[in-house]
Amino acid sequence: MSARDTQTQAQPMRAGDVTVEWLQSLRYQVQSPYRPPTIAGVAVLDLKVHLDGRGDVIELWSRPWVERHELVAPQHIYQSATDYGVTKCWHLHDIHTDQFTVTRGKLQVTLVDIRPDSPTFGHVNPIFLGAQQPRLIKIPPMVMHGWKALTPPEVIVVNLQSHVYDAADEWKFPWDCVLHEVWEPRNG
């Protein structure tokens, strides 16, 4: 029996079936944040900044991006402020796709592929988002995720969700139950 077979025995098929114990039993492969994401279905789009002497404009969403960049049309959009140093994780959804961008500050988003049938099962992708280099990230269902605010006083995140918010599709786990070592900054 392979290591992958061992990891996937009695694996959950829905977010509500995931347990901390199961998450702790997995073997994770943390990828470099300096390379494109490896998790299947994740997309990162560099956003265009229009800069002139009066200021700047950043396009956050455009309908043609759905086909061109494999994004989903948002049905629910909200803004969230996270205070400096706060880690918000882990989150998981059965149904909706999250699409985040940062409009103020710098954020580390960490994605974890816990879909046993995925070719990238066990991959961990740390990704940095910030107003200095604006990007939009797409997070498919059943990809566990969280974020940490890296700049004071707070980081502003805009989430363009595929579905209207439903608390029944929001699963949370303690931030330090797995992968607590992935969060920046690290001294070195």
State yes or no: pLDDT of 3 exceeds 80.
no
State yes or no: pLDDT of 6 exceeds 70.
no
What pLDDT, on a 0 to 100 scale, did the predictor assign at position 120? 98
Q: What is the pTM of this model?
A: 0.91
Once rounded to an integer, what is the mean pLDDT over residues 30-35? 95
CATH code for 3-173? 2.60.120.10
| Cα radius of gyration (the chain) | 17
What pLDDT, on a 0 to 100 scale, did the predictor assign at position 8? 46
Task: Give, in order, the Cα–Cα distances in Å from 60 to each of 63, 132, 144.
Answer: 11, 14, 23
Contact 128, 107 (CB under 8 A): yes
Quote the mean pLDDT of the chain.
Answer: 93
